[in-house]
Amino acid sequence: MLTTSGIIGYFIKYIAPISIAAANFFKFIYKIRFGFLHISKSKTERIFALFSQDPCKNTANRYALYIAVGDALSSFYPIPEIEFAFARSNPLVMLRDMRAVRHLVRLNVEKNIIESPRKKSAKYFYIQSNLSYGISAFSYFPVMAFAIFIQHKSQAIGVFLVISYLILAILGFWRGLQMNRAYQLMQSEKFYPRLS
């Protein structure tokens, strides 16, 4: 049985150095992230300055905006997608979402709307998003109950069930996020209203 001095000694010897190392690691990551966000903010301000010069009148501005967006987001987008996004509120988030779910929805240049190439409706993506989130969250109860029940007979099966649940939860939340992004893009008038 551990005494109070034994617990304090264990904490000083093992837990404290690990905690300090973890705190320094997260502080380092935060500093790097803050620096990149500061750089990204200045790039975003330059993009808005370029786009405010009415890119439809001068084609040089369209290509300058194309290069600036590629520099700020580290990937290049078609010019019609850039113009579609910058005519709305929160364009950089919209462009990132368009890139993330390009396999689900695309911009139709003729109609100037975002639609699914597989002819799926926005309601379909909304239902699939909620279904994915629900499966990820509520599968916890039966899987964990069975894992607790079976661990007395075989710990390996219990560990396998816990790991499989974690994988299922991560994939389910990722799929739900993708479907939610597609739903928001198809409802762009609601989630990304046009700038007046």
| 116 in the same domain as 36 | no
Q: Domain tally for the chain?
A: 2
**What does the pLDDT look like over 32-63, one tens digit per residue?**
666 655 555 666 666 666 666 554 545 557 77
| 6 in the same domain as 54 | yes
Q: How far is CA 62 from CA 52, 66, 80, 160, in A?
A: 11, 6, 10, 53
| 98 in the same domain as 170 | yes
Q: Which of 76, 105, 132 is the last residue of a domain?
A: 76
Q: Which of 58, 76, 94 is the last residue of a domain?
A: 76
Estimate to the nearest angstrom the gap between the alpha carbon of 171 and the chain centroid. Answer: 13
**What does the pLDDT look like over 1-43, one tens digit per residue?**
566 667 667 767 777 777 778 787 877 777 666 665 555 566 6
pTM for the predicted model, two decimal places:
0.67
Parent domain of 156: 85-196
CB atoms inside a 10 Å sphere around CB 38: 10
Q: Taking every pair of C-alpha atoms in the chain, what is the biggest distance, in angstroms?
A: 80
Phi, psi of 90 (to 5 degrees): 55, 60
